[in-house]
Structure 1
Amino acid sequence: MQDWDDLKIALAIARHGTLTAAGRALGLNQSTMGRRLAAMEAATGQPLFERQGTSLIATELGSRVVAAAEHVAGTVAELQVELAGGPTPLEGILRLSAPELLIAPFLASRLAPFISSHPGLAVELVADERPPVLARRDSDIALRFSLPDQAELFVRRVAFIAFAVYASPRYVLSVGLDPEERRAPTAGTFSGCDAVGPPPELSGAADAQWFASVARGARPALRVDGIAAQLAAVKAGLGVGLLPCFIGDDEGLTRLTAPGACPLREVWLAVHRDLRHAPRLRAMIDQLSATMKRERPALMGAPRG
Structure 2
Amino acid sequence: MKDWDDMRFFHAVAEGGSLSAASRSLGVNHSTVFRRINQLEERLQTRLFDRLDNRYQLTDLGLQLYERVRQVADVMDDVERQVAGRDTLLEGSIRLTCPDTFLDWIVPGLIAEFCRQYPQITVELRADQEHLDLARREADIALRATNLPPEYLIGKRLGQMDWGFYGIPSLGEFPESLPASSVASVIAPEGKLLQVPACQWLDKQLPRFSVSARAGSLRAAAALARQGLGLALLPSEAAEGLVRHANPAKNFDTGIWILHHPDMRQNARLTCFVRFMSEAFTQWFAAQKKA
Q: With structure 2 as the length reference, what TM-score do the two structures score?
A: 0.66
In 1, Cα distance between equivalents of 2:279 and 2:233: 27
Partner of 2:260: 271
Taking a change above 3 Å as real, the CA distance of residues 101 and 263 of structure 1, as seen in their structure-2 partners, is same
SS at match of 1:291: helix
Q: Say what the alpha-carbon RMSD is for the aligned residues.
A: 3.7
* 1:188-207 correspondence runs (5 A): 188=180, 191-199=182-190, 203=194, 205=196, 207=198
Taking a change above 3 Å as real, the CA distance of residues 91 and 255 of structure 1, as seen in their structure-2 partners, is same
Question: Could you list the per-position Cα deviations for residues 135-156 of structure 1 after superposition, in whole angstroms to 9, with x for gaps in the alignment?
Answer: 33221101112334363x2244
- Conserved 8 A contact 2:192-2:217: no
User: Partner letter of residue 70 of structure 1?
Assistant: A
Taking a change above 3 Å as real, the CA distance of residues 206 and 195 of structure 1, as seen in their structure-2 partners, is same
Partner of 1:54: 28
Partner of 1:29: none
User: Partner letter of residue 113 of structure 2?
Assistant: P
User: Partner letter of residue 229 of structure 1?
Assistant: A
Taking a change above 3 Å as real, the CA distance of residues 124 and 201 of structure 1, as seen in their structure-2 partners, is closer
In 2, Cα distance between equivalents of 1:219 and 1:260: 17
User: Partner letter of residue 103 of structure 1?
Assistant: L
In 1, Cα distance between equivalents of 2:100 and 2:124: 14
- Conserved 8 A contact 1:210-1:263: no
Partner of 2:208: 217
How much does 1:160 deviate? 0.6
Partner of 2:79: 65
In 2, Cα distance between equivalents of 1:269 and 1:131: 13
- Conserved 8 A contact 2:177-2:246: yes
Tell me whether 1:241 sits opposite 2:215 in the alignment. Answer: no
- Conserved 8 A contact 2:160-2:253: yes
User: Partner letter of residue 81 of structure 2?
Assistant: A
Count of aligned pairs:
234
Partner of 2:154: 154
- Conserved 8 A contact 1:162-1:260: no
* 1:75-224 correspondence runs (5 A): 90-146=90-146, 147-149=148-150, 151=152, 153-169=153-169, 172=171, 177-178=172-173, 182=175, 184-188=176-180, 191-199=182-190, 203=194, 205=196, 207-208=198-199, 211=202, 217-224=208-215
Taking a change above 3 Å as real, the CA distance of residues 245 and 202 of structure 1, as seen in their structure-2 partners, is closer
Q: With structure 1 as the length reference, what TM-score do the two structures score?
A: 0.64
Tell me whether 1:230 sits opposite 2:244 in the alignment. Answer: no
Partner of 1:19: none
In 1, Cα distance between equivalents of 2:112 and 2:192: 35
SS at match of 2:264: coil
Moved more, 46-55 or 111-120: 46-55
User: Partner letter of residue 149 of structure 1?
Assistant: P
SS at match of 2:289: coil
Taking a change above 3 Å as real, the CA distance of residues 47 and 218 of structure 1, as seen in their structure-2 partners, is closer
* 1:14-33 correspondence runs (5 A): none
User: Partner letter of residue 273 of structure 1?
Assistant: P
Tell me whether 1:280 sits opposite 2:269 in the alignment. Answer: yes
How much does 1:213 deviate? 8.4
- Conserved 8 A contact 1:193-1:219: yes
- Conserved 8 A contact 1:187-1:213: no
In 2, Cα distance between equivalents of 1:138 and 1:117: 25
User: Partner letter of residue 118 of structure 2?
Assistant: H
Moved more, 120-129 or 65-74: 65-74
User: Partner letter of residue 221 of structure 2?
Assistant: Q
- Conserved 8 A contact 2:179-2:249: no
Structure 1, gaps ≥5 residues long: 1-37, 78-89
